[in-house]
Amino acid sequence: MGAKGDETRARLVQATRALMEAQGYFGTGLSQVLAESGAPRGSLYFHFPAGKDELVGQALTEAGREVSDLIAGLSAATTTSAAVVERLMTALGDRMEQSDFTKGCPLATVALEVSAANDPLRLICAEAYEHWQQALADLLVSEGRDPAAADATAGSVLALLEGALLLARVRRSRLPLDQGTRAAVSLLA
């Protein structure tokens, strides 16, 4: 595939990511993705012959990787797990506010919709969440925590962060993010 094909594919995935995060899986139609991306209909099926689920799967994979990369970058730039979590929540909160609260966790909207009925997409979301939890657990192990305790704490922190993002988006307020961050930092102390 040439540069133009790669660019078209990337536009399709990016449009899908943005629309799904704001509107969900069922609220995002392929015609809307095509209009948003500016790609011709034939390109959609050329790049994603299995259709919507293949495109959504790629969008979820890239969104999950983006957050994993953010955690890795923050981990390399800071000295404690608490600082990583604070900076992660600040970054996600800034992103949410800049979108006028249409964006939260880049996976959550779709994960909630598909978890009971679409196992391939549920598994992509589960894998991304597992990577995020493992990255946080690895930070805690590097700080001297027992691996099992680190994993349990990382899971609790991730649950706090996801819940805080959901509440902030629903309330259109950063307050739940601030409260969730303080609670997470307390768990990490």
For 52-188, the fitting CATH number among 3.30.450.20, 3.10.640.10, 1.10.357.10, 3.90.1150.140 is 1.10.357.10
Which residues, other chains included, contact 45 with Cβ-Cβ below 8 Å and sequence gap of 6+? 51
The overall average pLDDT reported for the chain is: 94
Q: What is the rounded CA–CA span in Å between residue 45 and residue 121?
A: 19
pLDDT for position 30: 95
In this structure, are residues 189 and 145 in contact, taking their beta carbons and an 8 Å threshold? no
Q: What percent of the chain lies above the pLDDT cut of 90?
A: 94
Please state the rounded mean pLDDT for residues 64-76.
95
Q: What is the rounded CA–CA span in Å between residue 51 and residue 45?
A: 6
pLDDT for position 1: 59
Which residues, other chains included, contact 175 with Cβ-Cβ below 8 Å and sequence gap of 6+? 168
In this structure, are residues 2 and 16 in contact, taking their beta carbons and an 8 Å threshold? no
